Amino acid sequence: MKYSSLAIVVIAGASVASAHTIFVQLEADGATHPVSYGIRTPSYDGPINDVTSNDLACNGGPNPTTPSADIMEVTAGSTVNATWRHTLTSGPDDVMDASHKGPTLAYLKKVDDATSDVGYGAGWFKIQEDGYTDGAWGTSKVIDDAGKHPITIPTCIEDGQYLLRAEMIALHAASSELGAQLYMECAQIKVSGGKASVTPATSSIPGIYKQNDPGILINIYSMTADSEYVIPGPELFTC
Ligand SMILES: *[C@@H]1O[C@H](CO)[C@@H](O)[C@H](O)[C@H]1NC(C)=O
Ligand SMILES: [Cu+2]
């Protein structure tokens, strides 16, 4: 049993080296923004593996990102779609290799200037998470829905500029240390219509995950439909 699980990991790892993913564009307030508009997208689609790296916030490092001068309007309480694609030029059938199973998550950080904020550091709060339910992974739903990752912007936050960090964590090789593949990009948004009635508790990125978190260091091949998956990171913020 152990041997066959290991074999699957090795095969999956070898065949999907070029099947990573990028959060390429945002659908918000009725607009489908062009690819890379208002998003710090990288030219390379590789993951971040080191959860202690500053690159965990808005990517970078091995996947250098291009700055954007654009900021997208988002109404508090609305649901936006982060759209994921294998590369910046892939179509809706090419989101990410199906082997890349794991949770989807999203975080916000209030900033003075979304075009210049470094991203990493304090101020982040989690606004969406989808782990493993009845044998279905969050990432599989995104792949099956043409790369659409729905994220609801809380109604109770204050207006202003934010970084919206959408994330998918692929666990196909996560049974060894540094094996989890974390994919994330930051969109630059301006929220309006917020009630400013609740102040979220915030966390630092890096700092939200540990390399040995049960949701980061895990053998997903031993899971059944009834298995419980512990989504990593801080508690989900709700109004
Ligand atoms: C998000 O995608 C769904 C389909 O998957 C669509 O019905 C919805 O209108 C999209 N939302 C936005 C804000 O475009
Ligand atoms: Cu990959």
Q: Which domain holds residue 84?
A: 20-211
Separation CA 6–CA 219 (nearest Å): 9
In a domain, residue 169? The reply is yes
* Ligand 1 probe mutation, 81, 141, 189, most atoms within 8 A of CB: 81
Residue 137 lies in a domain: yes
Ligand 1 touching residue 148 (CB < 6 A): yes
pTM: 0.93
Query: How much distance in Å is there from the Cα of 196 to the middle of ligand 2?
Result: 38
In this structure, is the dihedral angle defined by the CA atoms of residues 5, 10, 11 and 17, taken in order, positive or negative? Answer: positive
The token duo for 12 is 């999956």
Query: How far apart are alpha carbons 35 and 185 in whole angstroms?
Result: 12
The answer to the question of residue 90 being in a domain is: yes
In a domain, 52, yes or no: yes
For the chain, the domain total comes to: 1
> What pLDDT sits at residue 19?
85
Residue 142 CB contacts under 8 Å (≥ 6 apart), including other chains:
84, 95, 96, 104, 148, 149, 168
Each residue's pLDDT, cut to its tens digit, for the chain (239 residues) gives: 344 444 444 444 444 444 899 999 999 999 999 999 999 999 999 999 999 999 999 999 999 999 999 999 999 999 999 999 999 999 999 999 999 999 999 999 999 999 999 999 999 999 999 999 999 999 999 999 999 999 999 999 999 999 999 999 999 999 999 999 999 999 999 999 999 999 999 999 999 999 999 999 999 999 999 999 999 999 999 99
Q: CATH code at 73?
A: 2.70.50.70
* Residue 217 within any structural domain of the chain: no
Beta bridge partners of residue 19, listed in sequence order: none
